Structure 1
């Protein structure tokens, strides 16, 4: 009887913990992300190469600055190598945070949620930088930007898959990251334009229509890429 009793208790505990995790994930993740603040940067900088510097800025809470660091003429011809280094390092950090922990442990920890969000956002911003006009201005080849975008997409999809694996099929951090990204886009020049708003806000609404809950990163990036490429400006 004791042998059957213990596993049953464990199953009950796991079930309750998972329900708590889902509740916390959907209700509080966005608030945890929005309440996080970037950390002070070191001077002089501690990073020794482009990939390391991007990772350093990203994990400190400056994802946009981190992603824009790759927009440099000296990166042309080395884009895949540098971006690959970023992907490997951020993937390692993401795995280290998630593996071997419970859903509740992750979703109640503001530092962990913020770090995972920063990684998502940095890779999203880097991927979108491969589609914008900057790539042509800086002399990036079409081949290297296309490969880098694909690599970023694959990396983001893999991170989302890992989040779902750890959190029982849900991806509240990925969802919140995309949601906040689109919300910020909708705010651009919103006070100066009559409906439907600015071009950026309009693009956000169009992107949102194609975001799939079961494939957040892939559907979001592909939709954003389409909007950028079709933008008359």
Structure 2
């Protein structure tokens, strides 16, 4: 159910053209809340909407209104329910809304990776971003910190783009503070996600990265992605 919720939230953030950081922060709030609270299944979407509201207030210049978020749930919840859940989340997380996410680390690590990447920088950025976003759906990856997931995504993206080259080097080790041996387990899970995905019932991320507006600046990468996204 967590994966289904996040898949839906990907669609919502696309519909409202929210920045990627809002999605990552939303998922962070959901996981932190669920780590200390139990909620009924019929309230899971309410949790997702309220977390999205908080994350959008944090990241966006013009966040969606509460009424809009009620509308996208087919009015399953009313405004007061969303606001009460928002208050519950803020209290549970003790108003500690700043949190490191995979997107934060990915942006930093990509600068280091692109310095020594042989090929268009956009290809690496596109593929690493896709892999990192896929990681949001996988529950088993919650045991890894966001910085390790971001580093592992770059490792895997490098390997896919240049399979005959070493996907890691001293520059990446220095900036990420990770050795290849530390990344191994996470890379294996990410590689499985990239190869087989999470099923046809969770298509939002694949469809998002299949859109023309996303792939236009990096067409060549599709020789690697098309078999797995279509």
Q: Above 0.5 in TM-score?
A: no
Normalised TM-score (structure 2): 0.29
